[in-house]
Structure 1
Amino acid sequence: MEAPTEAVLFDLDDTLCSYRRSAADVLEVAFEQAGVGPVFEPATYYGRYREYLEKDVEFADFHEQCFGDLAVEAGHDRADGVAVARAFREERDQRNVEPLPGAMTVLDAFADEYALGLVTNGHPEMQRQKLEAIEFLESFETIVYAGCDTRPKPDPEPFSVALEALELEAERAVYVGNSLSSDVAGARAAGVRSVWIPEAGSASEAPDPEPDYVLESLTDLRTPLWN
């Protein structure tokens, strides 16, 4: 017999919130706000940003290094790229994020019955800005910024850290996320049951790894599957 569920842990990006506009659209605004014009093409950024993500630098430095290098390579001053990076971060993570349908309803409905936690890959500065923008920062009893506080998902460490903070064993929690490779795989590695909510059109008849539950949308969590 399964242990009763006492905690529900959530992923953040594309599970509870998403961006309203593409990075290209946000870059256009950032160029204007920085007052420097389009110092590099968005396609150039798309082709390079993962290179900088893999470097051992702070989140703010990542964007400033990347945009600064792109500006120099395009024949502009590094300071222009740095100015664009700062405007880009503020525009993207404070003004460009919105909760997904049903997110607030689910969190409100579960708050009285379960301990709520957030386990998200991403730098605290970036993710905290999103949570503040959608007014979710106070919704969770514990937040783990995986990749900074711990190793990133799908490593089991961030899930274990969240459960330790809640003083619960893995079998008493479920994790809700949209990624098989990060969320479902990480939860399974930590011994936590997983709820997979695939993006529209990405559902598979034989998902690998296999989640414990599959839902069409976050609103289906109003009646928990694990009861």
Structure 2
Amino acid sequence: MSAPVDTVLFDIDDTLCAYRRSGAEVLAAAFEAAGVEPFFAIEDYYDRYSRFADRTDSIRELRTACFAAIADERGHDPDRGRTVAAAYTAERDQWNVDALPGAREAVNRLTADHRLGVVTNGAPGMQAKKLAAIGLDDAFEVVIHAGYDAPAKPDPAPFRRALDALDTDPSSTVHVGNSLTSDVPGAQAAGLRAAWLSDGSTPDPVPAYTLDSMADLHDPPWRR
């Protein structure tokens, strides 16, 4: 029998909130603004994110280094990648985030009888602004910025760091996230149960719980 859940950790991006424009839309706008013919897709950036997180101090530095490396790999001048990165930053910074439906209420309900934390891949300053924008900047006892405070997810280290900070046990902790490549395997590797915010695909690895929306946490599945 599973231990009762007393702690919930959350991802931020596409779990608690989402940009009003997708990364693919922003990248397309960045190529256009920079006057550069597109030479990579947004997935190429996401796939390389963890490689640069440990060696850069901000999301702008990370993006610049990553885009320059992709340009070099594809036979372009790295400065072309840096130009696109600057345009991407300008386009992204013009847009704020919105809370996902049900996210704020889920956090507010769970805080009554759970300890709450965040484990997110992302720069501290950028992620703090997102939590503030959706009114959840004071909702969590601990926020671990994977890739900065610890290795990026799916490494189990950031989850363990959150557990240590909360002085709680993995067997009584659930991590809520949308990613089958970082959230679910990372949480499972750290001994946590994973609650996956579904995108309609067949999950692999298989989480302990599948959520159709954040509203499913208003009556969390581990209580049913």
Give your verdict on TM over 0.5. yes
Change (3 A) 1:168 1:52: closer
2:131 paired with 1:131 = yes
Which residue does 1:90 correspond to in 2? 93
Which residue does 1:39 correspond to in 2? 35
- Identity, % of aligned pairs? 44
Point out the more displaced range, 121-130 or 17-26.
17-26
Which has more radius of gyration?
Answer: 1
Match for 1:211 among 207, 214, 223? 207
Between the aligned partners of 1:212 and 1:51, the Cα distance in structure 2 is 25
Between the aligned partners of 1:225 and 1:218, the Cα distance in structure 2 is 11
Partner of 1:155: helix, strand, or coil? coil
Between the aligned partners of 1:74 and 1:156, the Cα distance in structure 2 is 33
8 Å Cα contact 1:67-1:84 kept in structure 2 = no
Alpha-carbon offset, residue 100 of structure 1: 0.6
Equivalent AA in structure 1 for residue 8 of structure 2: V
Alpha-carbon offset, residue 83 of structure 1: 5.3
Aligned residues: 212
2:21 paired with 1:21 = yes
Between the aligned partners of 1:74 and 1:39, the Cα distance in structure 2 is 15
8 Å Cα contact 1:171-1:191 kept in structure 2 = yes
Which residue does 2:217 correspond to in 1? 221
Between the aligned partners of 2:103 and 2:62, the Cα distance in structure 1 is 30
Which residue does 1:142 correspond to in 2? 142
The alignment's C-alpha RMSD in Å is: 3.0
Between the aligned partners of 2:24 and 2:171, the Cα distance in structure 1 is 42
1:180-222 deviation per Cα after TM superposition (whole angstroms, max 9, x unaligned) = 22111111111111111211x32x2xx3222111121111111
Change (3 A) 1:191 1:63: closer
Which residue does 1:188 correspond to in 2? 188
Point out the more displaced range, 109-118 or 13-22.
13-22
Equivalent AA in structure 2 for residue 84 of structure 1: A
Which residue does 2:119 correspond to in 1? 119
Which residue does 1:57 correspond to in 2? 56
Between the aligned partners of 2:117 and 2:79, the Cα distance in structure 1 is 46
Question: TM-score, normalized by length of structure 2?
Answer: 0.79
Question: TM-score, normalized by length of structure 1?
Answer: 0.78
Equivalent AA in structure 1 for residue 216 of structure 2: D
Alpha-carbon offset, residue 82 of structure 1: 7.1
8 Å Cα contact 1:163-1:170 kept in structure 2 = yes
Point out the more displaced range, 16-25 or 106-115.
16-25
Alpha-carbon offset, residue 38 of structure 1: 3.4
Alpha-carbon offset, residue 176 of structure 1: 1.0
Alpha-carbon offset, residue 178 of structure 1: 1.4
Partner of 2:13: helix, strand, or coil? coil
What 5-or-longer segments of structure 1 have no aligned partner? none
1:114-164 deviation per Cα after TM superposition (whole angstroms, max 9, x unaligned) = 111111112223222222222222111111111111111121111111111
8 Å Cα contact 1:121-1:152 kept in structure 2 = yes
Equivalent AA in structure 1 for residue 93 of structure 2: E
